[in-house]
Amino acid sequence: MPRPHSNDPGSVFVFGSVNIDLVCRVNSIARPGETVLSPRYEQLFGGKGANQAVAAARASGEGGRVSFVGAVGSDDLGVAATEQLKAEGIDTDGLQIVSERTGCAFISIDARGENAITVASGANRLPEAAKIDPSVFDKANILVLQMEVPLGESLAAARLMHAAGGRVVVNLAPVPGDLSRDDLTGLVSEADILVVNESELEAASALSEGAGGTVAEKAADLSRRFGLAVIATLGAEGVIVSQMDGTAQTIPALAVEVVDTTGAGDTFVGVLAVALSSGLSEAEAAGRAAVAASLSCRKVGAQTAMPRAEEIEAALAGRP
Ligand code: RIB
């Protein structure tokens, strides 16, 4: 149930990571000990947090509805990433400039559009929730979190958002290698909506010693036990939205020719957040987000391929 919120409705606050993505196209992704060649690399804007903010800003169709706080270095990459976010109409006033270098992601994309990513976190290890201007929480009704910045800072931001009366969307991506059962419990108890892909759902179920079974059964089990909505994204198979009352809906994806899936999950989360902030239900919001995520797979790169509001509307209108 949406919590009552007296503040300006319809604004999204993303707290998370910023990266510069160095992207190589390869026939097949290098295995341990193997070297593969790629003709060239592209330097693109990325980071799950920044990507989600960009997806939200584009889907909102107007400026000023999205704020972003993360951390960048005082290097050229940090300046470029900040300018890019501003150019998308995102409020970056709270961006923190820290002593580490701006985060970088090293991405290989194979011939089927699948990817492998290594992130050098750098500045993403240092954003602090305590430094966020309280007015950012007052303005927003949805906070979006992912897992590329320290968990403790994300939890602190979630508590501040709840104190201000808003809702919290947690995207459990990527699942930290050292995530404990207590960490997961802390995280889901600060979340109103949990967004996971299949492997993240598997990890969450295993860590919390949940019921086995199908994706739908695992999502339903997490929803009931932790009292939150769980949205499981299944790529071309669509999305399952599971509510704590045991109801579940399956929403189809849009069929597209896949070039690169990098950032599809971030597109889903950003578009979901904007739709929720406008008052749509979880299932309605997930329907829009699933279409946007499919559209984002048609080009190389995360932010490069994210659709704008008009493209999402057109795809929704043309959908059988
Ligand atoms: O989700 C895709 C993103 O993951 C990339 O942009 C990369 O920066 C990594 O954070």
In a domain, 41, yes or no: no
Best mutation site among 22, 41, 45, 51 for ligand 1, i.e. most ligand atoms within 8 A of its Cβ?
51
266 is catalytic: yes
In the reported structure, the alpha carbon of residue 189 is separated from the centroid of ligand 1 by a whole-number distance in angstroms of 25
Query: How far is it, in rounded angstroms, from Cα 171 to Cα 181?
Result: 17
Global confidence as pTM: 0.94
Buried b (16+ CB within 10 A) or exposed e, 154-177: bbbbbebbbebebbbbbbbbbbee
Query: How far is it, in rounded angstroms, from Cα 124 to Cα 149?
Result: 5
pLDDT at 4: 39
pLDDT at 151: 97
**In sequence order, what DSSP letters do the residues of 120-165 get, joined into one string?**
E-GGGG---GGGS-HHHHHH-SEEEE-SSS-HHHHHHHHHHHHHTT
Ligand 1 atom having least distance to the Cα of 21: 8
- The single residue listed with the structure tokens 């939205």 is 241
On the question of a cis peptide bond just before residue 320, with omega within 30 degrees of 0, the verdict is no
Best mutation site among 19, 44, 149, 296 for ligand 1, i.e. most ligand atoms within 8 A of its Cβ?
19
Number of domain units in the chain: 1
In a domain, 25, yes or no: no
pLDDT at 63: 61
Ligand 1, pocket residues at CB < 6 Å? 17, 19, 21, 46-48, 51, 105, 117, 119, 148, 262-263, 265-266, 302
In a domain, 2, yes or no: no
pLDDT at 113: 83
* pLDDT tens, residue order, the chain (320 aa): 344 343 445 799 999 999 999 999 999 999 999 999 999 999 999 999 999 999 999 999 876 699 999 999 999 999 999 999 999 999 999 999 999 999 999 999 999 888 999 999 999 999 999 999 999 999 999 999 999 999 999 999 999 999 999 999 999 999 999 999 999 999 999 999 999 999 999 999 998 887 778 999 999 999 999 999 999 999 989 999 999 888 999 999 899 998 889 999 999 999 999 999 999 999 999 999 999 999 999 998 899 999 999 999 999 998 75
In the reported structure, the alpha carbon of residue 131 is separated from the centroid of ligand 1 by a whole-number distance in angstroms of 24
pLDDT at 320: 59
Buried b (16+ CB within 10 A) or exposed e, 74-104: ebebbeebbebbeebebbbebbeebebbbbb
Which CATH number belongs to the domain containing residue 57 in this structure? Answer: 3.40.1190.20
In a domain, 201, yes or no: yes
pLDDT at 64: 65
In a domain, 172, yes or no: yes
In the reported structure, the alpha carbon of residue 4 is separated from the centroid of ligand 1 by a whole-number distance in angstroms of 33
In a domain, 275, yes or no: yes
Whose C-alpha lies nearest to ligand 1, atom 10? 47
In the reported structure, the alpha carbon of residue 117 is separated from the centroid of ligand 1 by a whole-number distance in angstroms of 7
In a domain, 5, yes or no: no
In a domain, 118, yes or no: no
Domain holding 232, by residue range, is 12-18+47-102+123-317
Best mutation site among 117, 121, 296 for ligand 1, i.e. most ligand atoms within 8 A of its Cβ?
117
In the reported structure, the alpha carbon of residue 74 is separated from the centroid of ligand 1 by a whole-number distance in angstroms of 20
